[in-house]
Amino acid sequence: MSAKDTPAPQAAEPGRAQPVEVPGGGHWWRRLLAFAGPGYLVAVGYMDPGNWATDVAGGAQLGYLLLSVILLSSLMAMLLQALSARLGIASGLDLAQACRERYSPSTCRLLWLACETAIIACDLAEV
């Protein structure tokens, strides 16, 4: 088939699904990665564009040095999520309610202040 015989690509209609050409051959994992890579980038960019820009700038300056920080923070976040889920399943309380029951009001205010400070620090990185 020559270049003249190849049909011109049609413009996608808004709101209508278009077939995607899947690379042939190779292992199934390679075909999956053809979709997973771009999908992951779009999902991260959609969820938090400010953080995405900060990550790209940090990666451009420091290269792979930040991967250890990302690994440790991800592991700590997963641990906190798992422990919070276990707390919720066992007691029926979320983390804030359990802290209110367990700690004094002054300690709860200090924990609240620490959480608010962390939220502000994350927001400032995106500005």
34-59 residue pLDDT tens: 777 777 777 766 667 677 777 788 88
pTM above 0.85, yes or no: no
50-62 as b/e, with b when 16 or more CB fall inside 10 Å? eeeeeeeeeeeee
Task: Please state the domain extents for the chain.
Answer: 24-92, 93-127
Which pLDDT tens digit goes with each residue over 7-44? 655 666 666 666 767 667 777 777 777 777 777 777 76
How many angstroms separate the CA atoms of 45 and 59, rounded?
15
How many angstroms separate the CA atoms of 123 and 117, rounded?
10
For 122, other C-beta atoms within 10 Å of its C-beta total 13
What string of H, E and C letters represents the secondary structure of 57-102?
HHHHHHHHHHHHHHHHHHHHHHHHHHHHHHHHHHHCCCHHHHHHHH
Which pLDDT tens digit goes with each residue over 86-112? 999 999 998 999 999 999 999 999 999
